[in-house]
Amino acid sequence: MHGNDSGRTAENHETVVVGAGLVGVVTALYLAPRFGPVTLLEKREAPRPDPGSRGRSLTVMLSARGWRVLSDLGVADAVRGICVPLYGRCGHPPDGRARVTPYSRDEQPIWSVERERLHRILLDAAEATPGVRLRFGQRVRSVDLDDPAVLVEDRHGRHRLRCRRILGCDGAHSATRAALEARGARAEVRKLELAYQEIDVPGGWLDRRTMHYWPTGDAMFAAFPMPSGDFSGSLFMRLDGPAPSYAAVGGGRDLYETFAAHFPEPAAAIPDIAGQLASRSVSTLSVVRCDRWVWQDAFALLGDSCHAMAPFMGHGMNCGFEDARVLVDCLDATVDWAAGLAAYEKSRTEDAEAISRLSYRHYFTMANPPREETPADVLRGRLLTLFPDRFSSLYEQCAFTEESYASVLRGDRRLDRLVADLLDRHGTDLASAPEDRVRACTTSFTTGTATLEDSGCS
């Protein structure tokens, strides 16, 4: 730590969680009842009492993994009250033919929630939980892993806070991650080529049972229903490079004209779109990879600090919540924190890598107008329908199950291979063959030299 750290040395705080974002608060809520006092340090000042008054907030999707955590923590009912169920995504391609892709085959919804309101519920729960101390205006500058402590800066200056263990939940631009890097961890923070602006979208012209997106290949606009009846929109466009990009278009009138040319329907429906485009800040997106997440019995990273990902599958927060749940499961299973933290790291890194890949890939599915289906696409879709007990879509498994993301990805690749093998053996006509032939070919293939299980498609 730096020379002028000496300042105040506060009492020994059992566990310090750095960052009171969504994942930090969830982590504190899990830990305090099991392992004693938790001090949550947040660099921002306390949030406003009524987040609704802000009028605008990013909307995030809650899936089964997120709900599992919210129900473990006793806040699921409160959160359900501010959510909107979504049954699919409705694409509005340039040809004007809107198409709905259901999220699940049995009409299960995922849930859209304003991030600020969800955060407020979690903060209220933390304030009401014995053992959780929430401190705002506390910026952690560095972490000492040898003699566990954090160096904190607040309006009184810098001071050192001793503790037994530190959990870094301080987001993509994490300061705590540097402590692991100093011990040889390799971290990569990459700014995505995409940037976005949040846009308010009035309701009344869009079906509220789905999210909506306008893919153009070059840029995408998306809108999510909110409980108020309005929608929260996001414009995604490349940050740099040839038009359309934020750099090439600049702001003001040119940005509005680009928007209107690419998205005529939303441009007509949002009365103050020109003003919003001119005034709303452009946010960048970063992805984070880190090959080590823990240090002995003293330190662990969770959430965006170790796996910030592209937002297009809607899993960054869900995955971060799952980190916290798996962490306490691992710690519950042993009295040895070093073993618990090592088990946590082993269990999560491959999963985070898998969902990060899927999230980035999903942007291209959503941003591009639907292409002509290939025989492989058609046969894949038919296998999902004909063998519902054996095959599920990747999206469904990520959103509606708690199966490991890595195993979902492996299963999806095996399904790709099965489809390719079937088309090789039986020709591309199989994709449009009658149902009994598809069934027979699939069953004979999978019960002959190989089985569905061998193909990894069960």
Judged by the rule CB under 6 A, the positions of this chain that interact with ligand FAD are: 18-24, 41-44, 58, 60-61, 115, 139-140, 169-171, 175, 196, 234, 285, 303-304, 311, 314-318, 320
Nearer Cβ to ligand FAD (14/153): 153
Q: Rounded distance, CA 433 to CA 110, Å?
A: 33
Characterize the bridge pairing of strands 38-41 and 132-135. Answer: parallel
Degrees, nearest 5: CA angle 364-119-199? 45
Helix axes 316-332, 337-367, angle to 10 degrees: 160
Q: What SS3 state is found at 357?
A: helix
Our CB check for ligand FAD shows the closer of 35 and 111 to be 111
In the complex, least distance from residue 290 CB atom to ligand FAD, rounded to whole angstroms: 13
Residue 145 C-beta: closest distance to ligand FAD, Å: 16
Query: How many other C-beta atoms can be found within 10 angstroms of the C-beta atom of residue 202?
Result: 13
- DSSP, collapsed to helix, strand or coil, labels residue 175 as coil
Q: How far is the CB of 112 from ligand FAD (least distance, A)?
A: 8
b/e map 77-106, b = 16+ CB within 10 Å = ebbeebbbebbbbbbbbeeeeeeeebbbee
Q: 96 φ, ψ to 5°? A: 80, 0
- Helices 435-447/405-426 angle, 10° precision: 110
Q: Tell me the one-letter amino acid at 89.
A: R
Q: Which is nearer to ligand FAD, 306 or 452 (CB)?
A: 306
Q: Which is nearer to ligand FAD, 307 or 380 (CB)?
A: 307
- Are 287 and 192 in contact by the 8 Å Cβ rule? The answer is yes
- Choose between 23 and 343: whose C-beta lies nearer to ligand FAD: 23
Query: Tokens standing for 83?
Result: 């959510």
Task: Write down the least CB distance from residue 436 to ligand FAD, Å.
Answer: 41
Q: How far apart are CA 27 and CA 29, in angstroms?
A: 5
Q: Name the minimum Å distance from CB 224 to ligand FAD.
A: 8
Least Å distance between CB 10 and ligand FAD?
15
Pick 19 or 411: Cβ nearer ligand FAD: 19
Q: Report the residue closest to ligand FAD, judged by CB.
A: 21
Q: Least distance in Å: CB of 303 to ligand FAD? A: 2
Query: Nearest approach, Cβ of 84 to ligand FAD (angstroms)?
Result: 12
**What separation in angstroms does the CA of 70 have from each of 97, 280, 333?**
38, 32, 21
Task: Kindly state the helix (H) or strand (E) to which residue 331 belongs, with its residue range.
Answer: helix 316-332
For ligand FAD, which is the closer residue by CB, 212 or 382?
212
Give min distance, CB of 118 to ligand FAD, in A. 10
Which CB sits closer to ligand FAD, 58 or 76? Answer: 58
Reference 89, options 104, 75, 68; nearest CA is 104
> For ligand FAD, which is the closer residue by CB, 216 or 356?
356
